[in-house]
A = this chain, B = another copy of it.
Amino acid sequence: MPKPTLFGAIERPRSLPDEVAQSVMSAIATGALKPGDKLPSEAELSANFNVARTVVREAISLLKFDGVVDSRRGVGAFVANREERTSFRISPACFEKRREIIKLLQLRTSVQSGAAALAAELRSDTQMEVIEAVLQELLVANAKGPEDALEERVEAELRLYRLITAASENEYFCDVVNMIEANIQNYLRSAFMKNAAASEFEPGAIMEHKAVVAAIKNKAPEAARAATRTRFTNASNSLAARQDFA
């Protein structure tokens, strides 16, 4: 039996390196540390935060990994230019303001549209079969209505567009979509998001899904691109238009 959520999840203390890294990161974000500035030495940071130098080192190494800082042995660590960052990641902070979610969905719309167009061009027949099967699952789940099959339907939709992206034969599209989805899934398991998902049980949304799949089946890249954009733009708009949207 699934454990009832009797107690709220306790917040486990995050690791020290993460906290140090985030602290330095926010100093950079707020402009307290500008590109080119020298970070305090590891010894100083270690004293300031009252942690061991190994902790500081791990924190700095994370920032280096993303190209946020650049350290030179014997000299020090410096804040890099914003254009030199070598990774794209979504900060948890962005989920605090719901306005930010819209921006994230805008990016996803763009990427997903491009992936759909490529998929329409490059898909194999077996990939097409799987995509159509998942669409069928989505239709079945949708017919059950929001009360019975919400999770099932959301999961099917997720899988559908993952498969479409995979059919683009371009791992970069897959990675970006994956990451955006992962972040949304992680941070937005809220009642708000469930309500939003439930509101997608409409004939219109289903028609749009069908249009996307049909275009890919017909090997019509431009149609697939347009249909995908329509679908995701509508989803984003209906989210923004909700009463409970802060």
Contact = CB atoms under 8 A, between A and B. Distances in A.
User: Assembly of this chain: how many copies?
Assistant: 2
Interface stretch (A43-51, A59-67, A189-197, A208-216): A59-67
30 contacts: A17-B61, A54-B54, A54-B57, A57-B58, A62-B62, A65-B65, A82-B178, A83-B178, A83-B181, A85-B178, A85-B179, A86-B89, A86-B179, A86-B186, A87-B87, A88-B172, A88-B179, A103-B172, A104-B172, A106-B114, A106-B170, A107-B114, A107-B172, A109-B114, A110-B113, A110-B114, A110-B115, A110-B173, A111-B114, A113-B114
Contact of A83 (B84, B172, B182): B182
Interface string A97-127: 0000001101101110111001000000000
Given A87-B87, A113-B110, A65 B62 contact: yes
Nearest to A107: B172
Nearest to A103: B170
Nearest to A88: B88
Interface string A48-82: 00000010011001100111000000000000001
